């Protein structure tokens, strides 16, 4: 398997996603189901994580929406 030579992305787990966004677990998964929040990456049968830059982008987009009102 070949991987592109680029800066590795940092994976963050649910507790950190919750802390960064201020959202609860259930609400995060509801937003994911509606396509309004980045999807997690499955790491194993019972483990998932999000790409840090996608969460940062989601936060920045919310701030941009607020600033455009």
- End-to-end Cα separation, the chain, in angstroms: 46
Smallest CA-to-CA distance from 41 within 31, 59, 30, 54 is with 54
Q: What is the pLDDT of residue 9?
A: 86
Banded model confidence at residue 45, pLDDT cuts 50, 70, 90: very high
Query: Which residue has better confidence, 66 or 54?
Result: 54
Residue 13 has pLDDT above 80, yes or no: yes
pLDDT of residue 59 exceeding 90: yes
Average pLDDT over residues 40-45: 96
Neighbours of 4 (CB within 10 A): 4
Domain spanning 11-68: which CATH class is it, in words?
Answer: mainly alpha
């Amino acid at each position: 398997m070949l991987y592109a030579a680029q800066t590795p992305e940092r994976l963050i787990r649910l507790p950190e996603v919750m802390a960064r966004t201020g959202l609860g677990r259930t609400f995060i998964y509801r937003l994911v189901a509606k396509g309004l929040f980045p999807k997690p990456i499955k790491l194993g049968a019972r483990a998932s994580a999000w790409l840090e830059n996608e969460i940062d982008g989601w936060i920045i987009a919310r701030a941009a929406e607020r600033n455009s009102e």
